Amino acid sequence: GSTDVTARIISAKLIDIIGQRIVIENKPGGGSNIGTELAAKSPADGYTLFLGTVANAINMSLYKNLGYNLLTDFAPISSTSSAPAVLVCSSKLPVKTVQELIKLAKERPGKMNYASSGVGTTPHLAGELFKSRFGLDITHIAYKGAAPALTDTISGVTDFGFKTALSAIPSIQAGQLTPLAVASSQRLSMLPNVPTMAEVGIADFEITSWNGLFAPAGTPRDIIDRLSAACASVAKMKDVQKTFAAQAAVVTSSTPEEFKKFVAAEIKMWGDVVRLTGASAN
């Protein structure tokens, strides 16, 4: 998945900078909680790091009994990458802009729907945020994964949805999906003609799948600072920037303090959406 890809791209460069071999160990399952809890309980010696995702921020509210706290059980190091969601609709739907989608949904109360890759996922919560922001009467259709959700939006079984840019671009290029807006602060180089949400008049609506590097809480500050500086160096590398751009993503970096503030804001934002939707994974 994208987290594994990110880990391999970043670690390949970190190896040269810090002079240490890095072994990537994937621990899937439990909505990413199995690997996260394992990392949280690892020795705080700088030899075990954790590549977190937006799912960890969402899970803080989605699960009632987590085995970790993202803010207190980890020491933030740096953000590493960000990939925005794209609001798309079936090409069978008679809309070309976000405002036209909103207008059509209001004209058809209770008759339109959006697809997601499952309850509590970013596409689900983004759809609910969109629904709440504009007071729409639309139905959420949850699928067991991103692929079937994408397929049914292409076919017109579902009307629209928030998709990862990388998964949606081939269908957009084939004319099977209509891109309405990118949910990020800037346009994507792979979709230069698709406006951002802000550009179409919808402020404060940024939905991104992000990755960031953490260490277990208590890891010495000098190790944290050294790794953060290394991440900043990686983010400046042109070949890394090009590699991420090809994945419809952006390589990023931040200080530990900046990353901690960002994570706290993400936890709050997604917590508000989880409470709004009543979503629960327990």
Residues 6+ apart with CB under 8 A from 243: 9, 251
The mean pLDDT value of the chain amounts to: 94
Straight-line distance from the first to the last Cα atom of the chain, in angstroms, rounded to the nearest whole number: 24
Q: How far is residue 276's CA from residue 233's CA, in Å, rounded to a whole number? A: 40
pLDDT at site 64:
87
CA dihedral over 9, 14, 19, 24, signed as positive or negative: negative
pLDDT at site 231:
98
Q: What is the pLDDT of residues 167-225, one digit of tens each?
A: 899 999 999 999 999 998 889 888 999 999 999 999 989 899 999 999 999 999 999 99
pLDDT at site 92:
93
Q: How many CB atoms lie within 10 A of CB 221?
A: 9
| CB contact at 8 A, 139 and 113 | yes
pTM more than 0.95: no
Distance of alpha carbon 31 from the chain centroid:
14
pLDDT at site 189:
86
Residues 6+ apart with CB under 8 A from 1: none
Q: How far is residue 217's CA from residue 257's CA, in Å, rounded to a whole number? A: 14
pLDDT at site 282:
65
Q: How far is residue 273's CA from residue 142's CA, in Å, rounded to a whole number? A: 16
Q: What is the pLDDT of residues 143-170, one digit of tens each?
A: 988 889 999 999 999 999 999 888 899 9
Q: What is the pLDDT of residues 26-38, one digit of tens each?
A: 998 888 899 999 9
Place of tokens 């990537």: 24
pLDDT at site 240:
97
pLDDT at site 71:
96
